[in-house]
Every structure is written in C-alpha cells, then in structure tokens.
Amino acid sequence: MGNNPSIAYYISSHGYGHGVRSCSIIRAMNELYPDLTVQIVSELPVGFLSNRTGSTRNPVRANSFDVGMVQLDSIRVDLAATLNRVERLHSKRKALVEQESAFLSGSGVNLVVADIPGIPIEAAALAGIPRVAVGNFGWDWIYSDFAPRDPRWKVIVEMFREQYSKANLLLRLPFCEEMTSFPRIEDIPLVASAGHPRRPEIAAFTGCDAAKKWILLSFTTLDWDEEALARVEKIKDCEFLTVLPLKWDRKNIHALSREQVTFADVIASADAVVSKPGFGILSDCIVNGKPLIYADRSDFLEYPILETAIESYLKHVHIPAARLYAGDLQDSLTRIWDSPEPEAKLPQGGDRIAAERIVAFLRMQA
C-alpha cells in the first residue's frame, strides 16, 4: 500500500438509506484521514452524495451492482419488476464480476467497502483485494421471503449468500437481521449525526410560519391526488416541508433543495416527520430526537425490525397507508405530540467507529 491509500466504497442505489449511512462513514473518514482517497461507486445523485458527505473531494463513479426493490413509490414495491431486473443482473454476473475485478486491479484500490451489493465483494475477492461489508441486512435475507411464492428467487438468494461469504469483515449496524452469510461480524453503534436547527433561514427561504408546527414529509415520491392535497391544505396549524424532487404548489407545503439546507438540518428544524420506516430516516429521527408518524411498508422483510426500533426509540404514531395516501393526516398530527416518550436509548457514534475500523483493517492488510 502506498502513502495515499485508496478505498472504493460501493453504495446500493436502493433508496437513500444506504447512502445516508455510507456518507456518514465517508464523512468521518474524510475528517479523520485526510490523506485517504475514498471513491464512491453508486448511481445515487452526485448532489445528494456531496451534500451528505459535506465534501466534493470524493470522486463518484456512476454504476450500480444491485437492484434492491423496484418501487412504485416510496412505500409500495413492484415484486414482479424486481424479480425481472434481478434475474437480468444475475445473467450478467460472471461478466460484471470479471469487468469490475479488472477495473479494481488496475485502479490502485487497496480496499473495497460495500453497502451492500454482492458483486463488488466477489470482484474484489477475484482481484485479491480486501473487502468489508457494512449493513443491517443482506439481499439474500430480503429475497428469501419471496422464495416460497416463486422458486426463481432461490437461485438469487444463493448467489448473494455465495458473494457475501467472500467478505473479510461485516460491520453490522443496529436494526439488523442475523446476516449469517458473512463469516466474520462486528457490531457497531448507530451511524448518523444530528443536524443544526435553521428555522429562521428556512422561514426566509419558504415563507413558513415559525409559530406553527413544522412537519417534514420525508418521501422521494408520494402519490397525492387533488383530493388528498386539499385535505392537507385544510390543516391550518401546521406547515409542511418537502425536499426536492418532491414538490406541490400548495399554501402550506414548501419545498427545499439540499443545496439550500442539508437534509439533516431540515430534520433538526422540523417538529415531526412523516415517512415510511426506513433505516436512514429512522436513524435521523433518533439522533435529532424527532417524533415519527410512519406508514405501512409491504413486501419488505425489514419492516417488522424497523417498526420494533421505532416503538423502542421514538415518540411515534402509526398511520395506515390508506389514510396517508388520502392525505388524512389530521388525526395522526393531533396524537403525535401526546405519544409516550421513548424509554430506550441507542448508542451512537458508529460513523467514526466504522471509519476507524475500516482504516485499521486496511492497514492490517498492507
């Protein structure tokens, strides 16, 4: 290993939760190890990645090596489309592994980190490059839930199990399944950092009334028709915030860009959040101490684990998905303020611990 070691950090493009936690770890590596080069490999938007890492110093190579779940919107998934895309990926597995292995061999990369596609792990193993995985679940586990319905999933599950078995180390996050495909596992605390409240600036950007409750609608997409939007607009005691690309032209719904205010600062400035149960938003709500109104999430095995975490660590109210899609938020917003305070606390600081552990592993392999 040379004087300026290099890491290739592969981030799943399935939703933003993988990107949120990966960027927290990369930000910590940037701060702790300024001579280290961390290259990001993902199809997540470059603006999102630089916003979350707080830096433009991490080169981004746009590529994707897993499918995750094909989603109809932020809550509903398309299982048939997911299987179709995963099977197409599986059919190219050998070529993708060989191409990526050759790329890694010629790029001077000293370590591969994956959250949590399998192909980069397999490619790094073929190239003889050390590999670390980070995650709270594997796609083998998620997809295993579908195998009883359709045996075509069994081949996909076995593919991921084989790939994950080639990882040298898994840094396992909270809210996790057992992840038994990985031969060596170390648990780390929650990976997330609190934002900074910026209500005066946000009020100036958006025209939000600072005297009202501010509710963050944390979705990438949400299928609200005119009737649903009209219901939301009738809620007079709240202002609603969205982050682009989610936007509606309504008097009490205000869109912000990540360039104006970081997502962490938007959450820190809000009074409560409405969202699906996802790892990233759950982590952000915990570290910022924000109540969460959450909706059902179908066909995703992680949901019960995340719901248990919500019940343990957050003030919360569950809203049925049908009521969310109808824009019927008033009852949930009335109840959230009087919901019980969480009794449990979750250790934090996993971003720095993960950064230190990854670099220690890199040095150990040199």
For 29-78, the pLDDT digits (tens) are 999 999 999 999 999 989 889 888 877 889 999 999 999 888 877 777 89
Q: Do domains 6-191+349-365 and 199-336 have the same CATH topology?
A: yes
CA gap 120, 11 in Å, rounded: 10
Percent of the chain with pLDDT over 90: 80
Return the closest-CA partner of residue 122 out of 97, 143, 104: 97
CA gap 316, 274 in Å, rounded: 10
The domain ranges of the chain are: 6-191+349-365, 199-336
The CATH architecture one would assign to domain 6-191+349-365 is: 3-Layer(aba) Sandwich (3.40)
Condensed to tens digits (0 to 9), the pLDDT of residues 216-237 reads: 999 988 999 999 999 999 999 9
Measuring CA to CA, how many Å separate 33 from each of 28, 50, 124, 334, 356? 8, 17, 23, 47, 9
Contact 296, 75 (CB under 8 A): yes
Condensed to tens digits (0 to 9), the pLDDT of residues 164-215 reads: 999 999 999 999 999 999 999 999 999 988 999 999 999 999 999 999 999 9
Return the closest-CA partner of residue 135 out of 23, 45, 48, 21: 21
pLDDT value for 1: 45
Contact 176, 305 (CB under 8 A): yes
Q: Which pTM value belongs to this model?
A: 0.91
Beta-strand pair 169-172/60-61: unpaired
Over residues 317-336, the mean pLDDT reads 96
pLDDT value for 258: 85
What kind of fold does domain 199-336 have according to CATH? Rossmann fold (3.40.50)
